[in-house]
Amino acid sequence: MPATQSLVTIKGRKDGLVLVMNEACAYRDLLIELKEKLAASTNLNKNGPVISVKIEMGNRYIDADQRDQLKQIIHSYDHLKVEEIHSNVLTYAELDKIKEQEKMVTMVRIVRSGQVLSVQGNLLLIGDVNPGGVISASGNIYVLGSLRGVASAGQGEDRKDAVIVASIMAPTQLKIGVTMSRNERNTAEVLTERHMFECAYLDEHIGKIVIDRIQTTMKKGNLPFTLNKM
């Protein structure tokens, strides 16, 4: 590799900067050049609107410490914000974690009062959640039965895009990520109501959990990301 070729290429885009990093050189050299390049671009020191930065690492593996290090260098400029650090390389451990997040755990049981069912990934529960019962998942929750207890989706990493779907939706409390909502109706009323096939998702515009018929949600066209994917 000729020494004259730059290791860090800064590209300007409509939505911010893209830093393309050479994937074959030493990591240390990369950092040195990154610092030089940033220092050299004088207009970065000026005050202005916040510019988002995407770092493209190519086929280089970078661990969490290195990610922090890169962020630190870039965040030393006040109006630069790292949006994403993208690398084509994953460790097996990271892959396992992603697989864990995306797997579907199927359970056939009744979650009764006082029982807690907690899973990694998406939960498909065939059976009921009775009042006083708790289910929780790091991904989405689907209940083929009545949901009368507490359901928490997107737990662990505050996944705002998680959804909760139930054949009969009459929960006492719902939680998506860190946002909670509770049922205002009294317990006796809830028992007799029949809310069929409803979906709860976090409406980011109002920051609240919304429960709606799945058909209505589809019509509005604001289906949460997770359901859109399917």
Partner 1 sequence: MGEAIVVTSGKGGVGKTTTSANVGTVLALQGKKVCLVDTDIGLRNLDVVMGLENRIIYDLVDVAQGRCKLNQALVKDKRFECLSLLPAAQTTDKDSIQPDQMKKIIDTLKADFDYIIIDCPAGIERGFKNAVAGADHAIVVTTPEISSVRDADRIIGLLEQEKQVSPPRLIINRIRQHLLKSGEMLEIDEIMNILAIDLIGIVIDDDGVISSSNKGEPIALNPSSKAAMAYRNIGRRILGETVPLMDLDEKQGFFHRVKALLGMR
Which letter does DSSP use for residue 111 in this model? B
Where b means 16+ CB within 10 Å and e means fewer, 154-189 reads bbeeebbbbbbbbbbbbbbebbbbebebebeeeeee
183 binds partner 1 (CB under 8 A): no
132 binds partner 1 (CB under 8 A): yes
Give the whole-angstrom CA distance, residue 51 versus residue 80.
5
131 binds partner 1 (CB under 8 A): yes
Q: Which stretch binds partner 1 (CB under 8 A): 17-25, 93-101, 106-114, 213-221?
A: 106-114
Query: Least separation, in Å, of the C-beta of 184 and partner 1?
Result: 17
Query: Least separation, in Å, of the C-beta of 110 and partner 1?
Result: 6
116 binds partner 1 (CB under 8 A): no
Rg (CA), the chain: 23
| Residue labelled with tokens 């899973």 | 119
If the CB atoms of residues 16 and 127 are measured against partner 1, the closer one turns out to be 127
Exactly one of 91, 187, 216, 228 binds partner 1 (CB under 8 A); which one? 187
191 binds partner 1 (CB under 8 A): yes
Token pair of 82, please?
């790292």
Q: Which residues contact 35 (CB under 8 A, 6 or more apart)?
A: 73
128 binds partner 1 (CB under 8 A): yes
- Residues in the site for partner 1, rule: CB under 8 A? 110, 112-115, 128, 130-133, 146, 148, 187-188, 191-192
